[in-house]
Amino acid sequence: MIGQQTRWVGYSSLKSNERGPKVFSRTVPLGEKGDGYALVRGEESFCTEEAVQRVYDALKSGLRPWFCQRCGRRVCYLCGAPINMPAGSTHMQDDGRTGHCPMLGVGLGCSNPDCSLYHPVERYFPHKKREE
């Protein structure tokens, strides 16, 4: 995932000092003035020095920073496996394309076939086939 309402990782042209009761941000300059910043935004426990360093390293290598569904708290509450679609999140596909899954008001199920909350992704998206 690359972003949610209160969590986000990536490039920023401005040094963000956004803070609030639930929002904290940490930035690291990418080089000389005007080169922008590596930015991690979210709750303080999400904005660790390690997270900022990973975002910085990815940007310096020409890659798009991301975070997993576990860090984004989009996992099954029973088994801990990723949910089928990370609701309320902007996500990145393996080929680099991005998309957004809105808050739908319906659970899209767990991706773990051994979990009682499992739903095959094809149930909701018939055009998608899970890789075997």
53/27 same-domain check: yes
Does the pTM surpass 0.85? The reply is no
CB atoms within 10 A of CB 83: 21
Q: For residue 67, is it within any domain?
A: no
Pick the residue with more confidence: 132 or 9? 9
Residues 6 or more apart whose CB falls under 8 angstroms from that of 110 comprise: 76, 78, 79, 81, 83, 84, 117, 118, 119
83/53 same-domain check: no
53/76 same-domain check: no
Residue 99 burial (CB < 10 Å; 0-12/13-18/19+)?
exposed
Q: How many domains is the chain partitioned into structurally?
A: 2
30/56 same-domain check: yes
Pick the residue with more confidence: 57 or 20? 57
54/79 same-domain check: no
128/77 same-domain check: yes
Q: For residue 65, is it within any domain?
A: no
38/76 same-domain check: no
Per-residue pLDDT for 25 more than 70?
yes
The pLDDT value given to residue 53: 92
Q: For residue 33, is it within any domain?
A: yes
Q: pLDDT tens digits, residue range 71-124?
A: 888 899 999 999 888 888 888 887 888 888 887 777 778 999 999 999 887 766
Q: What is the span of the domain harbouring residue 52?
A: 3-60
**Do the Cβ atoms of 39 and 55 come closer than 8 Å?**
yes
